[in-house]
């Protein structure tokens, strides 16, 4: 758990999140990691990511650490009233439901800000207000329509990125907006609404390719078909079925690359002396390098590249990172106890927010919560009596 002395710059801040899946929970996780008290409002049967299989199995434990859980049936008037009282105690409310959903329960920005003008309200959507805002968005949807899948896949074969890039970054931008709004509130005393959206996030990610076209008039090609700026900048098949990425992005690096690998003939070739010359001959150069490197060992190549200060990377799978010596040595992984599923109660490693503050990683103060784990304490703090709480539970308003 989070050691004493680790900075918590948002300690004392209360965040109430009405979120599910990845985007909204990511925003809450960032604020929680920074020290805020983050209260996750769930339906009585729980956030569905608690129970996902396959690629979704890691969603809940990844994005819901350092949070409290209260389970409320918002469809019942009493439940909506509990939620409004809870939201009324918050500095920040975060949500990621379809437009109009929160207004049905009096939990939209317009309603809550009437009661608390200092409230910061962070809405995570598929699209910012405009012609598309009625559409149902998913990470994959916006990757396809926003050019990212086109850039990732081979020509004619669009391919989504291998992780939830827009969901995660959309939550990060929501958190950044919340932090900016908190600073502004400190100056003016007034809150505001912040909106973050999947589609606009995706467009921001591909903005460099849009600008390439605007500046040069040449459309960016999909990454597998790109014209590389550097001749040696690729993945190579080596011994034992392993692969390694190697690069030499300057003339000086090219000369060192040839030296450490014993390619004196390539170093001496005047047609390969400059980067642009090598790029012009890239297809034949890479064919030569692939033939020679196929007989080399990935561990040996890694050692040579590291000693020479050249860019390299063994090709690894996500599960390999659980044993990464750098992550283990620097505290980049932390233990969490699983709250749900067949391994409930077991401890696993999770990744931490990728920053340090005062030289410390922001760790796990609280395991991902069990459904409704903090309902009773939170209700009591809102002024509900023991009998009130028992009655709400008996009527299946809270759990």
pLDDT of residue 2: 57
pLDDT given at position 274: 97
The token pair that represents 215 in the structure block = 């500046």
Task: Confirm if 127 and 201 have CB atoms less than 8 A apart.
Answer: no
**Cα(65)–Cα(33) distance, integer angstroms:** 8
SS3 content of the chain, % helix, strand, coil (to 5): 45, 15, 40
**pLDDT for 165:** 97
Q: Residue length, the chain?
A: 399
Q: How far apart are CA 232 and CA 313, in angstroms?
A: 13
**3-class DSSP state for residue 42?**
strand
Residue linked to tokens 């899946």: 21
Q: Strand 37-42 vs strand 67-71: parallel, antiparallel, or unpaired?
A: parallel
Q: Are 395 and 78 in contact (CB under 8 A)?
A: yes
Report yes or no: 68 and 99 within 8 Å, Cβ to Cβ. no
Domain residue ranges in the chain: 14-206+331-394, 228-318
**By the 8 A CB rule, do 60 and 369 touch?**
no
Do the strands 14-18 and 92-95 form a parallel or antiparallel pair, or are they unpaired? Answer: parallel
Closest by Cα among 71, 46, 45, 50 to 60: 50
Token pair for residue 124? Answer: 């995570």
147 three-state secondary structure: coil
- Contact predicate 239/296, CB 8 Å: yes
CA distance to 114, 161, 256, per residue, from 54 (Å): 43, 17, 44
pLDDT of residue 228: 86
Q: What's domain 14-206+331-394's superfamily in CATH?
A: Crotonobetainyl-coa:carnitine coa-transferase; domain 1 (3.40.50.10540)
Q: Find out if CATH 3.30.1540.10 is the number for domain 228-318.
A: yes
**Separation CA 201–CA 146 (nearest Å):** 9
Residue 226's SS3 state is coil
3-state SS assignment for residue 16? strand
pTM of the model: 0.94
Same fold, 14-206+331-394 and 228-318: no
Local confidence pLDDT in tens for the 399 residues of the chain: 656 689 999 999 999 999 999 999 999 999 999 999 999 999 999 999 999 999 999 999 999 999 999 999 999 999 999 999 999 999 999 999 999 999 999 999 999 999 999 999 999 999 999 999 999 999 999 999 999 999 999 999 999 999 999 999 999 999 999 999 999 999 999 999 999 999 999 999 999 999 999 999 999 999 998 888 899 999 999 999 999 999 999 999 999 999 999 999 999 999 999 999 999 999 999 999 999 999 999 999 999 999 999 999 999 999 999 999 999 999 999 999 999 989 999 999 999 999 999 999 999 999 999 999 999 999 999 999 999 999 999 999 999
């Amino acid at each position: 758990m989070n050691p004493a002395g680790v900075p918590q710059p948002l300690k004392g801040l209360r965040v109430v999140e009405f979120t599910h899946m990845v985007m909204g929970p990511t925003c809450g996780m960032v604020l929680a990691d920074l020290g805020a008290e983050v209260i996750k409002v769930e339906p009585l049967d729980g956030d569905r990511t608690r129970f996902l299989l396959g690629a979704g199995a890691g969603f809940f434990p990844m994005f819901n650490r350092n949070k409290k859980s209260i389970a409320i049936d918002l469809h019942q008037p009493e439940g909506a009233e509990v939620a409004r009282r809870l939201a009324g105690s918050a500095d920040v409310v975060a949500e990621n439901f379809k437009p109009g959903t929160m207004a049905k329960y009096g939990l939209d920005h317009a309603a809550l800000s009437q009661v608390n003008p200092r409230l910061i309200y962070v809405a995570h959507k598929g699209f910012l207000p405009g012609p598309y805002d009625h559409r149902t968005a998913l990470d994959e949807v916006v990757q396809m329509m926003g050019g990212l899948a086109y850039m990732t896949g081979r020509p004619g074969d669009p391919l989504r990125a291998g992780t939830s890039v827009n969901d995660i970054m959309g939550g990060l931008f929501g958190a950044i907006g919340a932090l900016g709004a908190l600073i502004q509130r400190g100056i003016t005393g007034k809150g505001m609404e912040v909106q973050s959206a999947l589609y606009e996030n995706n467009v921001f990610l591909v903005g460099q390719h849009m600008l390439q076209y605007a500046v040069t008039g040449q459309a960016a090609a999909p990454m597998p078909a790109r014209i590389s700026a550097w001749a040696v900048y690729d993945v190579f098949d080596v011994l034992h079925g392993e692969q390694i990425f190697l690069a030499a992005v300057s003339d000086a690096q090219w000369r060192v690359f040839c030296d450490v690998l014993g390619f004196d003939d390539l170093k001496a070739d005047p047609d390969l002396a400059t980067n642009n010359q090598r790029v012009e001959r890239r297809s034949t150069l890479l064919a030569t390098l692939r033939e020679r490197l196929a007989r080399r060992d990935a561990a040996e190549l890694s050692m040579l590249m590291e000693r020479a200060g050249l860019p390299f990377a063994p090709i690894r799978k996500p599960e390999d990172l659980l044993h990464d010596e750098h992550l283990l040595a620097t505290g980049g992984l932390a233990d969490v106890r699983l709250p749900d599923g067949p391994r409930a109660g077991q401890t696993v490693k999770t990744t931490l927010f990728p920053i340090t503050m005062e030289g410390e990683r922001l760790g796990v103060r609280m395991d991902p919560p069990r459904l409704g784990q903090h309902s009773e304490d939170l209700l009591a703090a809102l002024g509900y009596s023991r009998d009130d709480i028992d009655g709400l539970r008996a009527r299946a308003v809270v759990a």
